[in-house]
Structure 1
């Protein structure tokens, strides 16, 4: 058995402007970067600890360092599922293991998992919470993007949405209140949102306090984000949500994300693939989940003051520059016998 070497670090990446949601404001992305090296071949993974799920930089670093001997002795991502719970720590290690295995074999992660590596993708461009005029101006600046995602709280909901819609009449729109609404709010504006042509409503109610959605028939379909982490959550979401949002930092990496995708489709859920605000290294594994997905929200690098070398280019709501050279490996042609 050839031994492996795991390295883990905390990195801070400044944003080009503040990112506002209902929970607060971010000015930088704090990420965990994992590398696993075996005989000069290296796999990379990145994740974002999230306080909403009880994670901190230190707790995620401790989780990863706690399994360092197991990883360095050699484990498969399936075995990692038994060592770490879903979350940021497992995500970074899982993605690094998949890339290491792919590059070691001269293959791609896409081929190992039976997934597609796209050459480009449509992504939502996110508009943070602000006063209606400023949100409208942001929408106008990005009105050529096919899909916008609008962050909201409980204040000035319809004023903000109307401002965005007026400024971007052709764009599809996702609304994301980040658990800040109540059923009363939802019922009172559902018809207005439908009239404004809103395409998807992401996690309007707090996870665990969403029983009011059961058998509710919204005019705008509702997507589970904070309420859906892994495939084990799906049975409780039936009858409440029409879509689920797959994020690697919730599933704990590609291994469980692929399982969640398969089971969600089999159970009749529509799909969204989302992200935390992070560099292209966080987005690269997630693009493998996007084939046939209706709503893709992988604009994390668009918020970066700078990105990793070789990362994605995002403009006009399109992700370009997707490459297995950056992350994931490529198929190596073998000479004929």
Structure 2
């Protein structure tokens, strides 16, 4: 295989704010693995609050180039295990390589990833559209700029209920709340009944990731289901969340790619947990990979490419009802536009 590293500064439609940061541009690294005239693509975005930059990801990949380019692609899962031996401490890079390997393998064998897994897209969840934190007028404007049946609202302010009331006055859409670890157990239990009345479906990660005592209290008494995000990064975290959350949100970059994400989803289902997959602010390369998991999911947040004013890639997209529209290409269906 041949490794090619592409870097992009992805421009956002609006300033995107969460508890951790605000940004207008998302730096992204896209890995291309090529063999027999075909290419597979995978993505990892810069996340500075985790210490992940384009520079250190690129340097690590260059150092591993001889290992990557001499590896066999007998199966993406075997490739992932081979790469994990070198990248156990770098799940974002491992994710990009794993996505690219799944994409390339599918293209080489004329199958989509989900077909290879024996899955059907007949019944899958629709994606929410995310409204980042801003002033209430700005959040209302963002929502009205993108009519959608299902919104995820980023909270973590001193006036969170007022935000939801203002947005609810403008739409009948279903709401999901992502507090991004900003609340206490007491706040969560106080807010939840009112949020439920305002048409909120669930609350994502209300407490800090290590506040297990608080989550035990919330899990037992909350008027709404609670979904783990920051508390569930890797496979070992799935069992840890049982009895503290009603479901988990799987992020491909945090867990290391499609290979572990599929196992996490299957494990969660066996435990009776709801399963969600979420995205970063990323191009259609990463979104196309997430879409392969749809038949295993109860909820999905795969609007990352919609938050961009310019997408360097194409593949799986979302229709006006929030459902995935698939590319005719095999693998994950991803492709860089300049190579199309």
Tell me how far 1:110 sits from its aligned partner: 2.1
Task: Report the counterpart of residue 23 of structure 1 in structure 2.
Answer: 20
| Alpha carbons 1:7, 1:34 under 8 Å: kept | yes
- 2:136 paired with 1:132: yes
Tell me how far 1:141 sits from its aligned partner: 4.3
Q: Hey, what's the Cα distance between the residues in 2 that align with 1:89 and 1:28?
A: 20
Q: Hey, what's the Cα distance between the residues in 1 that align with 2:168 and 2:266?
A: 34
- 2:92 paired with 1:84: no
Alignment partner for residue 66 of structure 2, among 65, 69, 83?
69
Question: Mean alpha-carbon deviation: is it higher for 187-196 or for 260-269?
Answer: 187-196
1:163-312 pair list within 5 angstroms? 163-169=166-172, 171-216=173-218, 217-291=221-295, 293-312=297-316
Q: Hey, what's the Cα distance between the residues in 2 that align with 1:312 and 1:98?
A: 15
Task: Report the counterpart of residue 41 of structure 1 in structure 2.
Answer: 38
| Alpha carbons 1:78, 1:255 under 8 Å: kept | no
Structure 2 unaligned segments of length 5 or more: list them: 73-78, 335-340
Task: Report the counterpart of residue 75 of structure 2 in structure 1.
Answer: none
In the alignment of these two chains, the number of paired residues is 325
Q: Hey, what's the Cα distance between the residues in 2 that align with 1:191 and 1:158?
A: 11
Q: Hey, what's the Cα distance between the residues in 2 that align with 1:329 and 1:135?
A: 33
Task: Report the counterpart of residue 329 of structure 2 in structure 1.
Answer: 325
SS at match of 1:291: helix
Alignment partner for residue 126 of structure 2, among 122, 126, 129?
122
Task: Report the counterpart of residue 109 of structure 1 in structure 2.
Answer: 113
Alignment partner for residue 50 of structure 2, among 39, 49, 53?
53
Structure 1 unaligned segments of length 5 or more: list them: 331-337
Deviations 1:17-43 (A, max 9, x none): 211212221111211110111232211
Question: Mean alpha-carbon deviation: is it higher for 64-73 or for 263-272?
Answer: 64-73
Alignment partner for residue 11 of structure 2, among 11, 14, 25?
14
Deviations 1:77-98 (A, max 9, x none): 2322333226210111011111
Tell me how far 1:312 sits from its aligned partner: 4.5
Task: Report the counterpart of residue 337 of structure 2 in structure 1.
Answer: none
| Cα 1:295/1:303, change in 2 over 3 Å | same
| Alpha carbons 2:291, 2:324 under 8 Å: kept | no
Tell me how far 1:211 sits from its aligned partner: 2.6
- 2:157 paired with 1:154: yes
Tell me how far 1:240 sits from its aligned partner: 1.1
Deviations 1:41-61 (A, max 9, x none): 211111213233332222222
Tell me how far 1:63 sits from its aligned partner: 2.8
Q: Hey, what's the Cα distance between the residues in 2 that align with 1:270 and 1:313?
A: 24
| Alpha carbons 1:102, 1:329 under 8 Å: kept | no
